[in-house]
Amino acid sequence: IQVCEMSKQSSLMSFFTPKGSKATPTVNASPQVSTPSSKKNASTPKTPKSSRAPLKRVNERVKNDHEREDNEDVVEKEPKRRRVIISDSDSSEAESESECYDPSKEEEEVDEEEYDDPMDDDDETPKKKKSAKKGRGTTSSKAETDNRKDEEEDKEGVESDGEFVFDPAMANSFIGSFGMKEDDISEKVKSLLDVEVTVDSKRVAEEEKPKGKKKEGDEDEKVEEYTHEKLEFLKPDRIRDVYGRRPDDADYDHTTVKIPDQFIKEQTPGHQQWWTIKSFNFDTVLLFKVGKFYELYHMDATVAVNCLNLAYMKGSYAHCGFPESAYGRFADQLVQRGYKVARIEQTETPDQLSERNKKERVKSKVVRRELCRVTTCATRTYDALDSPLDDGKSEEGGGDGGGRDSNNAFLLAIKEVISVRGSQRTPVTTFGVAFIDTSIGRFFVGSFEDDCYFSHLRTLIARHPPAQVLVERNRMSNSTRSVLSSMLPSSVPTETLTPKKEFLEPEKTITLLLDGSRLGGDTHTWPSTLVEMLSRDESLPTSSPSHREAWSALGALLSYLGKCLIDRDMVSMKLFETFDPTAAPMKSLSSNLCSSSWKGRRMVIDGVGLEQLSLIPLEYASEQTSGSLYSILNRCKTPFGARLLRSWICAPSCDKEVIEERQKAVVWLMTAEGRRCQSSVEELLENLPDLERLLQKIHSVGLLHRAREHPDSRAVMFEGEKYAKRKIKDLIAALEGFKLCHQIGELCEGARKGEKKNSLLAAAPFDVKKHLEHFEDAFDAREAESTGKIIPNEGTDGEYDAARERVEKMKEKINDYSEEMGRKLQCKTSLVNCGKDRNLLEVPDKVKVPSNFEKKTMKKGFVRYTNEKLLSLNCELGEAESDLECLLKDATRRVFEDFDQRRDSWQGCLDAVSTLDVLISLAKYGSCTGVPMCVPSIVYDEEKPVMEVEEGYHPCIVVTGLASLLDEGVESSSTTFIPNDINLGGSNPSTLLLTGPNMGGKSTLMRQVAVLSVLSQIGSLVPAKSMRLSPIDRIFTRLGASDRLVAGQSTFFVEMNESAIALRDATKHSFALFDELGRGTGTLDGQSLAWAIMQSMTKRIGARSIFSTHYHGLCERVEGDKEISLMHMGCVVEDEEETAETARVTKESVTFLYKLVPGVCPRSFGFNAARLAGIEEHVIADSWRAAKRTFGDQKTLKKLKEEAERGASVETLRRLIETAF
């Protein structure tokens, strides 16, 4: 009978088990407890011995101190209650809530689980626990009688006192709800699961009675108010932090709570531990280990019941829990809902507790517990305790690197300093930022001066969207808070840290990093990013004046990671990069630029540009971004490849060599030979785990500090073997993954034989063969994965080999001594082990031995002796074996450490594979658009920047449009996309003023040119017949119309804000887009501002720019300007001749050509757009008449002005006015 069938039926029938049933846990059933005393004599079926689960969880209600008697014996405690765990019906991990039965471990596991319970009495000791276990094993006569009665009743198959009655209707109804029939449950399974489908009729009758006042001692009724809801010190008008401050205090720390000392004293020892930890982690859900279960108490239990579908246990205080094996699943659910989760482990066994009590004056009554991990939405590392995400691999977990999720979850710390400068005392805001993706272990650190619009801060948030933000308490301006509120989703928590104590000063941060378990005292070995931030004038490492804010932000990050107990894991990886939201402006460089001037530079796209051009999906974006450039290009097979593609799009390269190498690689991958190679490589890429995250996980396991000093090293884990196997599976997955990477390199090298080498496809970065061979010889991977231990092969671990050799030599010495004694005694001798005595010298009983021989044991015909020499040799052997055992325990960690020490090679291979993955993705994009594709030419020697596009298409529309048409059954050959030419700069005007009908495609064309530029500079082919452009240092966008409600900024203010940034930071190498500038204010003001800004961009800066407008007066004003070209989006108008004033516009039909043509569009055809939008005809007709009157007034005024300028008489002018009005 399959375990899955048993699991389903156990889950079904457990609902029919009466509250008073004494049924024991079964395979794949939730752990249960003993029957309440009120049901003690009830008839309870017994589980056959072969099918009983080994664990009988003890879950007693915590007695309040006034209920507990000091001399109460452990064995006579209140009977235990049933454990109920309810999880989602679609969960596939039911097996995680119980373990298969192992008779050999039954006694041991029950003892381990029940040795400590925070609900126990104050006078409880491990000794009493042992006696309790013994009592369960031998039982008193009364217990034996009860058991015999139960067994007899099972055999008879009758009900006791009519208390339990089978209700077929209810059973059939319940089973039917799961799509099963009662007959589907076999009798054999019933017997194995110890299921009697019964319903407590008395309890049903009681529930049907009208609810009255709760009787004393009646525990079946639901508690109306739990203990924590009645505690005065937790009520809003009384609550204080640990320092005694109230919430209205500016320094109030909401993460802590003050617990009265008297209240702590009144608690049981277990509760004292819980409340002590809770007082410093008040904002955190505590998963409190008790035996093999994580328990949640009080307010935490309420959270778990609401979020995890767990059930309360009986009692006056809120209480629920789940088994250790379900930690990953439940903890992850809480974290995803925005909770901080703390894992508190037992770090002591009962024997260790006894030993500690012998040494200390104050005797402890419960085992020690320690906080081992705090997990938030931005500090997940997907270690061995975490359940596998969505990889769909084995149930054991591990080997997936944290799933296939390619998204980063950044923890961001922001330091803000506002200073004043100059005689005008102008305020200047300087930001220090530090952020990290803990699943990878890579830090980004930087500082920058920002403008009054916070454009650089907005760019940071757009390019690296944080999952959690750390700010300094009472040190952040309201303006900055408004920016964060307007850009971040409400699901992103912002946590305030105490200045200096948690948000560290630069000096404290540097001191922290000097610790040997972090970066060490030699700053020459520090990452170059941090070394550049140090002052070079001081003998001791100190912060440079320009980087103090960055050091402080990094200190906040380290402080918070330290609270989560992962700071050393992250820092010791030494992955630090500089964050610079904007490179040095090109106008600061020489005017005679060449390709070397662009080396290493990247295009800057701020947060506004990323959103308005739909380059990447943004969580805070106001519009749907599923059709973003990233979404269109991303055909990557690996998560780390997808992350690299995103970084390329956010910051395209300006480096000629980088762009050209990528273009060559993409072009080759699109050839017939390249496609064959591409197909083979993709098969290998699909089988790669997330190697980037696996490197971080392996690094943490290999840390000596974590193995010796971290609280997890002392934790008593009941699933330790499973976690050890997961760690080894991660290591083996990484080795197998890099083996595939090596094969990928060989494929690319073999495919390009005879051609000029391309650095991106060369095999050198992929070559990790010698490292792979080293680990193949180091240990038996298959054995290690099955046992959860790595035993080094000879020759791979010098220290372990030396210890093993010492053991062998000691064994040889003992054998030699035995042979020597045989020669002296002239008889055959042998070495035997007997009980605790080992290596006893066995000789015939007739042989006379020296007087210094001590007789130990004997058997027929032989006597076994020992002496001082033999004892000394055994002692040396024991020491050697002890050293070997210690090294063997640490052998797994040392293998992980050995792997981590080769990280530079692994990282180089990983970078090469991720680059190849992106290049293949670009090649596949180039093959699927259905329109002509070309390799853009990036020119660096043009005196005047140029942009020339012949028959270009929007890179996203040609893919999404084609896909949607194919979904509708339209043949691709019949699909037509309208290409357009663009010529800016060089011998052409640098500015284009664009007009056209509403919905005619103006904004689309503007975005098209910008996205084509981005695509060109990441090294991709572009959808165009040809494209030639000078590198762009920055793209500025002013597209769409939207306000920033949270920041208190109107639509027009946002327009002017974005325009001001362009006017301030643009260079002649920039590209700017201004869509209908000035629409947010009056016509006269808007038109004037649009003209002035266009003149500044054209005449003063000389940047390549496209302006769109509906202000025809603006077109008239710039007509004839040789530096501005006038063009419009073509259209065809039908029924334009006026038939009747009220009917003209309603019959007018406009066909959009989506083609860019020279000249100015005579009208905007807004009435056509209104008609298409569904505005009623009479409203459109009224608006037309109003427009005609306004237009007529304007014509009359123009004629009057012309007549007056020609010198017309006053009488003539009066007649014209009377005629017109």
Residues 67 and 164 reside in one and the same domain:
yes
- pLDDT for position 971: 52
List of residues 6+ apart from 411 with CB closer than 8 A: 376, 378, 379, 435, 436, 437, 438, 466, 467, 468, 470, 557, 560, 561
Q: Which of 531, 566, 589 is the last residue of a domain?
A: 589
Phi, psi of 645 (to 5 degrees): -60, -40
- Map residue 771 onto helix, strand or coil: helix
Residue 566 lies in a domain: yes
Confidence class for position 401, pLDDT limits 50, 70, 90: low
Rg of the chain (C-alpha set): 39
- Map residue 1194 onto helix, strand or coil: helix
- The least confident of 399-403, 726-730, 735-739 is 399-403
211 versus 771: the higher-pLDDT residue is 771
The strand ranges marked E within 242-384 are 284-290, 293-297, 319-323, 340-346, 369-375
Percentage of the chain modeled with pLDDT above 70: 72
Paired tokens of 898: 């050995």
The size of the chain, in residues, is 1221
Which of 410, 411, 428 lies closest to 419, judged by CA? 428
Alpha helices in 901-985 (DSSP H): 903-928, 957-967
The CATH number covering residue 697 comes to 1.10.1420.10
- Map residue 102 onto helix, strand or coil: coil
Paired tokens of 871: 């004892």
Residue 1171 lies in a domain: no
Confidence class for position 139, pLDDT limits 50, 70, 90: very low
Residues 278 and 197 reside in one and the same domain:
no
Residue 904 lies in a domain: yes
Tell me: pLDDT of 194 over 70: no
List of residues 6+ apart from 109 with CB closer than 8 A: 54, 55, 102, 718
Q: Which of 1143, 1166, 1189 is the last residue of a domain?
A: 1166
Residue 621 lies in a domain: no
- pLDDT for position 1191: 58
- For residues 780 and 791, what is the distance between their CA atoms, to the nearest angstrom? 8
- pLDDT for position 1189: 64
- For residues 1067 and 945, what is the distance between their CA atoms, to the nearest angstrom? 11
Confidence class for position 307, pLDDT limits 50, 70, 90: very high
CA dihedral 322, 323, 329, 335 (to 10 degrees): 50
- For residues 86 and 30, what is the distance between their CA atoms, to the nearest angstrom? 9
Residues 89-121: pLDDT tens digits? 333 333 333 333 343 333 333 333 343 444 544
Answer positive or negative: Cα dihedral of 814, 818, 820, 824.
Answer: positive
Please give the average per-residue pLDDT across 179-204, as a whole number: 40
Tell me: pLDDT of 135 over 80: no
Tell me: pLDDT of 410 over 60: yes
Residues 172 and 138 reside in one and the same domain:
yes
Residue 597 lies in a domain: no
Residue 713 lies in a domain: yes
- For residues 782 and 1186, what is the distance between their CA atoms, to the nearest angstrom? 84
- pLDDT for position 396: 56
Per the DSSP assignment, residues forming a β-bridge with 855 are 865
Count of H-run helices and E-run strands, the chain? 41, 28
- Map residue 940 onto helix, strand or coil: coil
- For residues 644 and 635, what is the distance between their CA atoms, to the nearest angstrom? 12
Q: Label each residue of 166-223 as H, E or C.
A: CCHHHHHHHHHHCCCCHHHCCHHHHHHHCCCCCEEHHHHHHHHCCCCCCCCCCCCCCC
- Map residue 94 onto helix, strand or coil: helix
- The least confident of 314-328, 547-561, 575-589, 1003-1017 is 575-589
List of residues 6+ apart from 11 with CB closer than 8 A: 28, 29, 94
Q: Label each residue of 335-349 as H, E or C.
A: HHCCCEEEEEEECCC
- The least confident of 216-220, 434-438, 451-455, 1216-1220 is 216-220
Residues 159 and 246 reside in one and the same domain:
no
CA distances in angstroms from 297 to 50, 348, 486, 1048, 1209, listed in the order given: 35, 21, 37, 43, 96
- The least confident of 196-200, 409-413, 651-655, 1083-1087 is 196-200
Residues 150 and 192 reside in one and the same domain:
yes
- The least confident of 552-556, 681-685, 747-751 is 747-751
Tell me: pLDDT of 708 over 50: yes
- For residues 768 and 771, what is the distance between their CA atoms, to the nearest angstrom? 5
Residues 1105-1120: pLDDT tens digits? 999 998 888 888 888 8
- The least confident of 137-146, 352-361, 996-1005 is 137-146
- For residues 803 and 170, what is the distance between their CA atoms, to the nearest angstrom? 67
Please give the average per-residue pLDDT across 319-345, as a whole number: 95
Answer positive or negative: Cα dihedral of 990, 996, 1001, 1002.
Answer: positive
51 versus 624: the higher-pLDDT residue is 624
Phi, psi of 1149 (to 5 degrees): -125, 125
Tell me: pLDDT of 1199 over 80: no
Alpha helices in 622-752 (DSSP H): 629-633, 639-650, 656-669, 672-685, 691-701, 704-708, 720-751
Tell me: pLDDT of 160 over 70: no
- For residues 632 and 389, what is the distance between their CA atoms, to the nearest angstrom? 25
Phi, psi of 403 (to 5 degrees): 90, -175
Residues 154 and 57 reside in one and the same domain:
yes
- For residues 895 and 902, what is the distance between their CA atoms, to the nearest angstrom? 11
The CATH number covering residue 556 comes to 3.30.420.110
69 versus 458: the higher-pLDDT residue is 458
- pLDDT for position 1200: 66
Residues 920 and 942 reside in one and the same domain:
no
Residues 245-284: pLDDT tens digits? 999 999 999 999 999 999 999 999 999 999 999 999 999 9
Tell me: pLDDT of 1041 over 90: no
Tell me: pLDDT of 442 over 50: yes
List of residues 6+ apart from 539 with CB closer than 8 A: none
| 899 neighbors 734 (Cβ within 8 angstroms) | yes
Percentage of the chain modeled with pLDDT above 90: 50
Residues 887-902: pLDDT tens digits? 888 999 999 999 999 9
- The least confident of 65-69, 828-832, 1073-1077, 1123-1127 is 65-69
Other Cβ atoms less than 10 A from the Cβ of 1150: the count is 22
- For residues 1002 and 152, what is the distance between their CA atoms, to the nearest angstrom? 88
- pLDDT for position 200: 40
- pLDDT for position 962: 56
Range of the domain at 153: 3-208
596 versus 1158: the higher-pLDDT residue is 1158
- For residues 1174 and 654, what is the distance between their CA atoms, to the nearest angstrom? 47
Residues 820 and 959 reside in one and the same domain:
no
Tell me: pLDDT of 313 over 60: yes
Which of 697, 703, 705, 699 lies closest to 723, judged by CA? 697
- pLDDT for position 70: 39
Q: How does DSSP classify residue 535? A: -
The CATH number covering residue 987 comes to 3.40.50.300
Confidence class for position 1035, pLDDT limits 50, 70, 90: very high
pTM: 0.77
Confidence class for position 338, pLDDT limits 50, 70, 90: very high
The residue to which tokens 């074996």 are assigned: 881
Paired tokens of 679: 């197909």
Specify which of 416-430, 437-451, 537-551 reaches the highest per-range mean pLDDT. Answer: 437-451
Residues 201 and 74 reside in one and the same domain:
yes
Residue 540 lies in a domain: yes
- For residues 494 and 490, what is the distance between their CA atoms, to the nearest angstrom? 10
Paired tokens of 757: 């080498």
Q: Which of 348, 375, 402 is the last residue of a domain?
A: 375
Q: How does DSSP classify residue 36? A: P
Helix, strand, coil distribution of the chain in percent, nearest 5 = 45, 15, 40
- For residues 1068 and 1034, what is the distance between their CA atoms, to the nearest angstrom? 10
Paired tokens of 407: 């998204």
Phi, psi of 76 (to 5 degrees): -95, 20
Count of structural domains, the chain? 6
Residues 122 and 253 reside in one and the same domain:
no
Residues 153 and 235 reside in one and the same domain:
no
Tell me: pLDDT of 47 over 50: no
Residues 923-953: pLDDT tens digits? 999 998 888 999 999 999 888 999 999 999 9
- For residues 87 and 99, what is the distance between their CA atoms, to the nearest angstrom? 17
End-to-end CA distance of the chain: 99
Tell me: pLDDT of 465 over 80: yes
Backbone angle region of 985, left / alpha / beta, with phi > 0 → left and psi within -120 to 50 → alpha: left
Residues 9 and 151 reside in one and the same domain:
yes
CA distances in angstroms from 353 to 366, 447, 1176, listed in the order given: 8, 50, 84
- What does the mean pLDDT of the chain come to? 79
- pLDDT for position 215: 42
Residue 646 lies in a domain: yes
The residue to which tokens 């329109």 are assigned: 931
- pLDDT for position 67: 35
Pairing of strands 862-866, 837-844: antiparallel
List of residues 6+ apart from 247 with CB closer than 8 A: 236, 239, 254
| 281 neighbors 374 (Cβ within 8 angstroms) | yes
- pLDDT for position 132: 37
